[in-house]
C-alpha cells in the first residue's frame, strides 16, 4: 500500500507545472479547498450541518481570507496526500501529526495542538507493561498514518513486532474493534481515545508511545508558502485571542472528566430505565423545541432517571425541580414523571430564552444548562466577572473559568446576587455534555423502527386491492 501511494504521488509530482503562488490562486477563484478526515476529531455532518474542530478553524480562516470554504472529506488518511498533490485541495486540515515521511511531500504550518499517542487495550485482556508484552498480540492501525511510522521506529529495536494496516477505517472504528474483542490492540491519539472511552468504558491506555506530538495544517511544497504564512498568522492570532481554546472546549471539554463506573452505569440505565420515560422525553422535546436526548441527559444528571428521587434540599422528581420552580411553572406533582419531564423541558427552554442573543451555539446551550443548575442571576454575575477580566462573556470557555469565582469572597462580595457554589454548574454542564454525546451515539446506532402490525396489514390490503 505504501509503495503504491509513493508511486502515485511521484506521478502527480511529475505532471505538475509551476502555478502561481497558492494564496493568489485562492483569492482569484474565491475558494479555499480543504481536504479533511471524516472523523469526530476533524469534520462530521450532523442534522445541524457540518461541524468539527478542523471545520471550525478552516471556516474561520476562509472567512478571514474573504473566500468560500470548500470541504473535501476523505474516509482515510491515505487519501489526503493525493488530493493535495493533484491540486484538488489547497491544504490539509485533518489533525495531521508532523512526521518525517510526510515532510517529504508537505510543508507544515504552525502547530496548533499537541497530542499524546497511546497503545490501547481492553480491560480484562491483560495490560501490556512493555513492548515485549505485545509481540504476540494482534495490533491494527490506520494505513498511511503517523502511527505506522511510530511502530516502524519501534520495530528497529523490536524486530519481531508485527501489526496490520487498514486503509478503509478510522481510529474510532479501530477503538470499537478493540472494545468488541476483534483485535487486541490499536494506537490512538489522546483526543480520539478520550471521545471513544465514553462510549466504550473498558478501553484503557496500556503504554504511552509518544508525548506532545505536534499537529498542524499541511500544504503542498513549492507554491504554497504565501498561503502557509497567512495560515500561520491566523492560527497564532487565534491562539492569542482565545479562539483555539474555545474550539477545543467545544469538542473536547466534556472529555476531561471520565468516570469509568458512571459511564458503565449510564449505558446500563439507558437499556433498563430510559425506555419507561423515553416517549415522555421525546414528546416534551418536540413541544418545547429541545433535542429530547439533551432533556434525557439533564434528567440523568439530576436523578439517574428515578421518578421518586428526592434530595436533602427538597428538590425532587426526574428533573429535580425545586418547590419554587414548580410553583413558577404551575406544577402540582413533582414526582409524576410526565409532569416533571415536561416541567423540566419548559424550565430549560425559558433559560435558553434568557441567554443573550449574542451567544452562539453550542455555548448558548451550555449557559442555559448552567442557569438550570445554579440560577440565571448567578450567570449574570459570572458574565460581569468575565467582562472585568477582559474576556468574552459570550463564550463558555471564559464563563466556565469565571463561575467558580462566585464562591470567593473577593468576587461575590461585590456582585448583585452574592455567593454561589460556582464550580457545580461547570461540573454539571460537563457531565451533561458527556451523557448527551453518549445518547446521540447510542440512538444513532439504533435500527430504524420496524413497521407496526397495523401498518403491515394496511400495506398487505392495499397490495391485494384491485387497481382503480
Report how far residue 158's alpha carbon sits from residue 418's, in angstroms, rounded to the nearest whole number: 62
DSSP 170-189: -HHHHHHHHHTTSSSBEEEE
Phi, psi of 205 (to 5 degrees): -85, 125
Report how far residue 71's alpha carbon sits from residue 12's, in angstroms, rounded to the nearest whole number: 21
Locate cell 511521484: which residue? 10
Q: Which of 31, 113, 302, 460 is catalytic?
A: 302
Within 13 A of 111's CA, how many CA atoms are on the CB side? 11
Could you tell me which residues come within 8 angstroms of residue 350 by beta carbon, excluding any fewer than 6 positions away?
Answer: none
Count CB atoms within 10 A of the CB of residue 191.
23
302 classed as catalytic: yes
Separation in Å, CA 280 to CA 214, 330, 369: 47, 19, 20
Question: Quick one: DSSP state of residue 217?
Answer: E
55-79 b/e (C-beta count within 10 Å ≥ 16 → b):
bbbbbbbbeebebebbbbbbebbbb
Report how far residue 160's alpha carbon sits from residue 141's, in angstroms, rounded to the nearest whole number: 17
Strands 106-108 and 113-122: unpaired
Question: Before 114, cis peptide (omega within 30)?
Answer: no
Contacts 24+ apart (CB under 8 A), 1-8: 1/78, 1/143, 1/144, 1/165, 1/167, 2/143, 2/144, 2/148, 5/78, 5/81, 5/82, 5/144, 8/82
With vertex at residue 73, the alpha carbon angle to CA 68 and CA 78, rounded to the nearest 5 degrees, is: 135
SS (H, E, C) 38-83: EECCCEEEECCEEECHHHHHHHHHHHHHCCEEEEEEECCHHHHHHH
- In the numeric block, which cell numbers belong to residue 378? 448567578
**Any idea which residues carry the catalytic annotation?**
302
Amino acid at each position: 500500500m505504501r509503495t503504491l501511494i509513493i508511486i502515485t504521488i511521484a506521478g502527480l509530482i511529475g505532471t505538475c507545472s509551476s502555478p502561481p503562488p497558492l494564496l493568489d490562486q485562492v483569492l482569484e477563484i474565491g475558494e479555499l479547498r480543504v481536504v479533511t478526515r471524516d472523523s469526530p476529531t476533524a469534520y462530521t455532518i450532523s442534522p445541524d450541518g457540518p461541524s468539527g474542530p478542523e471545520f471550525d478553524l478552516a471556516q474561520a480562516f476562509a472567512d478571514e481570507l474573504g473566500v468560500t470554504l470548500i470541504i473535501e472529506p476523505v474516509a482515510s488518511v491515505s487519501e489526503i496526500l493525493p488530493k493535495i498533490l493533484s491540486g484538488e485541495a489547497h491544504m490539509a486540515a485533518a489533525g495531521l501529526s508532523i512526521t518525517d515521511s510526510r515532510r517529504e511531500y508537505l510543508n507544515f504550518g504552525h502547530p496548533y495542538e499537541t497530542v499524546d499517542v497511546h497503545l490501547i487495550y481492553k480491560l480484562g485482556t491483560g495490560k501490556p507493561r512493555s513492548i515485549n508484552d505485545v509481540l504476540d498480540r494482534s495490533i491494527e492501525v490506520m494505513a498511511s498514518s503517523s502511527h505506522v511510522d511510530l511502530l516502524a521506529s519501534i520495530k528497529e529495536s523490536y524486530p519481531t513486532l508485527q501489526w496490520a494496516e487498514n486503509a478503509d477505517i478510522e481510529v474510532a472504528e479501530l477503538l470499537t474493534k478493540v472494545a468488541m474483542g476483534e483485535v487486541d490492540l490499536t494506537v490512538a491519539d489522546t483526543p480520539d481515545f478520550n471521545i471513544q472511552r465514553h462510549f466504550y468504558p473498558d478501553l484503557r491506555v496500556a503504554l504511552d508511545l509518544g508525548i506532545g506530538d505536534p499537529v498542524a495544517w499541511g500544504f503542498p511544497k513549492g507554491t504554497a508558502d504565501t498561503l502557509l504564512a497567512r495560515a500561520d498568522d491566523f492560527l497564532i492570532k487565534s491562539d492569542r485571542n482565545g479562539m483555539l481554546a474555545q474550539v477545543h472546549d467545544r469538542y473536547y471539554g466534556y472529555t476531561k472528566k471520565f468516570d469509568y463506573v458512571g459511564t458503565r452505569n449510564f449505558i446500563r440505565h439507558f437499556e433498563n430505565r430510559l425506555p419507561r420515560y423515553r416517549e415522555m422525553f421525546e414528546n416534551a422535546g418536540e413541544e418545547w423545541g429541545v433535542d429530547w436526548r439533551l432533556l434525557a441527559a439533564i434528567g440523568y444528571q439530576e436523578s439517574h432517571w428515578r421518578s421518586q428521587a428526592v434530595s436533602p434540599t427538597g428538590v425532587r422528581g426526574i428533573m429535580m425541580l425545586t418547590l419554587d420552580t414548580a410553583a413558577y411553572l404551575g406544577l402540582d406533582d413533582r414526582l409524576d414523571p410526565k409532569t416533571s419531564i415536561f416541567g423540566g423541558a419548559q424550565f430549560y427552554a425559558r433559560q435558553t430564552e434568557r441567554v443573550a442573543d449574542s451567544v452562539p451555539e453550542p455555548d448558548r446551550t451550555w449557559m442555559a444548562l448552567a442557569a438550570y443548575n445554579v440560577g440565571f442571576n448567578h450567570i449574570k454575575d459570572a458574565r460581569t466577572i468575565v467582562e472585568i477580566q477582559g474576556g468574552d462573556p459570550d463564550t463558555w470557555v471564559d464563563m466556565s473559568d469565571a463561575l467558580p469565582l462566585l464562591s470567593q469572597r473577593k468576587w461575590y462580595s461585590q456582585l448583585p446576587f452574592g455567593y454561589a457554589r460556582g464550580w457545580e454548574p461547570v461540573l454539571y454542564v460537563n457531565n451533561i455534555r458527556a451523557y448527551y454525546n453518549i445518547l446521540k451515539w447510542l440512538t444513532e446506532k439504533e435500527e430504524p423502527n420496524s413497521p407496526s402490525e397495523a401498518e403491515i396489514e394496511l400495506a398487505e390490503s392495499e397490495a391485494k386491492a384491485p387497481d382503480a
